[in-house]
């Protein structure tokens, strides 16, 4: 830890971001392994339930006031949308190669940009529109509709990405009035009972191996989010954007080692096209945000 603290801020942020990307990949592995012992809807439930148990003592140390909800409806809407995205994404991980899910998840910033224009009234100019079109072309390279059958897993991965984008837009709105602690904690607290409903109808108690996998899944997800948040707090998020792409080789290597999966060339090409378009969009949005504050007296909330 002392050696880490002696590093420059940029290097600290880079290492934290790489750790987050690796742990997000590991999370996908534990999702698939857990779903081999219990139904995937139970995996979603335990991800939220155990996540709440992990976060509760950490956040309560900051005080009850830090988790007060100012606009409860937004928390409920976010919980429902995020649950649908999580259920779709978790199911996709069990149906198609991990690298393909990872590549399709790169579409999330594209959906966020479109949603911000449609529902939040944000203006997107021609260069970002072109970047969005190119990004969705990258998704078509992976899916190859008309050439090969589009799998249910691929469609669920896109549905999950779309829903997570919707949840992110709600978070963007929530940051105007809500604390970070409240947003983080109430997500899993609200999603736990929602996810219990479908899990109840397929319920199977996990065996010892299942409990170990679920705990590892929760720890990987929680630590990944902490690393990601800390990295974004150290430097501008645009300076870390290029590191998001390492999720694809991470997923390819881990999935090959554990599941003997080898992604095809179109997953790599399509993933790269989607990533480059989203990196450009993030760069343009960051420049626009800087131009709006503080000289113009406007401050826009960032995710």
> How would DSSP label each residue in 289-301?
HHHHSSTTS----
Dist. CA 24–CA 147, nearest whole Å: 31
Is 185 contained in some domain? yes
Is 2 contained in some domain? no
**Residue 73 CA to its chain's centroid (Å):** 22
**Is the confidence at residue 261, as pLDDT, over 60?**
yes
Which domain covers residue 111, as residue numbers? 8-292
Report CA-CA distances (Å) from 30 to 40, 43, 48, 209. 11, 10, 14, 11
Residues 140-191 have pLDDT tens digits of: 999 887 667 888 999 999 999 999 999 989 988 888 888 888 888 899 999 9
| Structural domains of the chain, count | 1
Dist. CA 18–CA 78, nearest whole Å: 27
- SS3 (DSSP) at 8: coil
Is 301 contained in some domain? no
Is 227 contained in some domain? yes
Contact 17, 231 (CB under 8 A): yes
pLDDT score recorded for residue 64:
79
pLDDT score recorded for residue 295:
46
Q: How crowded is the C-beta side of 43, counted as CA atoms within 13 Å?
A: 30
Whole-model pTM over 0.75 = yes
The percent of the chain in helix, strand and coil, each rounded to the nearest 5, is: 80, 0, 20
pLDDT score recorded for residue 180:
81
**Is the confidence at residue 119, as pLDDT, over 90?**
no
Q: What percent of the chain has pLDDT over 90?
A: 50
Dist. CA 120–CA 284, nearest whole Å: 17
Is 47 contained in some domain? yes
Is 91 contained in some domain? yes
Contact 15, 186 (CB under 8 A): no
Is 300 contained in some domain? no
Residues 60-113 have pLDDT tens digits of: 787 778 888 999 999 999 999 999 999 999 999 999 999 999 999 999 888 988
Is 62 contained in some domain? yes
Report CA-CA distances (Å) from 74 to 63, 170, 180, 237. 22, 7, 14, 25
């Amino acid at each position: 830890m002392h050696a880490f603290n002696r590093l420059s801020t940029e290097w600290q942020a880079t290492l934290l971001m790489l750790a987050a990307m690796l742990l997000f990949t590991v999370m996908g592995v534990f999702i698939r392994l857990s779903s081999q012992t219990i139904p995937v809807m139970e995996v979603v439930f335990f991800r939220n339930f155990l996540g709440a148990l992990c976060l509760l003592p950490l956040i309560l140390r900051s005080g009850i006031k830090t988790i007060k909800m100012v606009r409860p409806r937004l928390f409920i809407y976010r919980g429902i949308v995020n649950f649908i995205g999580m259920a779709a994404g978790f199911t996709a991980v069990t149906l198609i190669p991990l690298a393909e899910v990872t590549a399709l998840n790169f579409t999330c910033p594209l959906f966020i940009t479109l949603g911000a224009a449609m529902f939040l009234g944000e203006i997107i100019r021609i260069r970002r529109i072109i970047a969005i079109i190119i990004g969705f072309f990258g998704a078509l390279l992976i899916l190859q509709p008309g050439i090969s059958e589009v799998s249910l897993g691929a469609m669920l991965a896109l549905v999950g990405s779309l829903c997570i984008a919707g949840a992110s837009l709600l978070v963007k709105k929530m940051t105007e009035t809500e604390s970070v602690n409240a947003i983080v904690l109430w997500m899993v607290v609200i999603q736990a009972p929602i996810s219990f409903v479908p899990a109840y109808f397929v319920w199977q108690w996990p065996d010892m191996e299942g409990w170990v996998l679920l705990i590892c899944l929760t720890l990987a997800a929680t630590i990944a989010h902490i690393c990601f948040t800390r990295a974004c707090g150290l430097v501008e998020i645009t300076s870390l954007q290029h590191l998001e792409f390492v999720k694809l080789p991470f997923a390819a290597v881990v999935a090959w080692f554990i599941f003997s999966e080898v992604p095809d060339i179109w997953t790599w090409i399509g993933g790269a096209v989607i990533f480059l378009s989203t990196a450009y969009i993030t760069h343009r949005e960051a420049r626009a945000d800087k131009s709006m504050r503080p000289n113009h007296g406007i401050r826009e909330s960032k995710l």
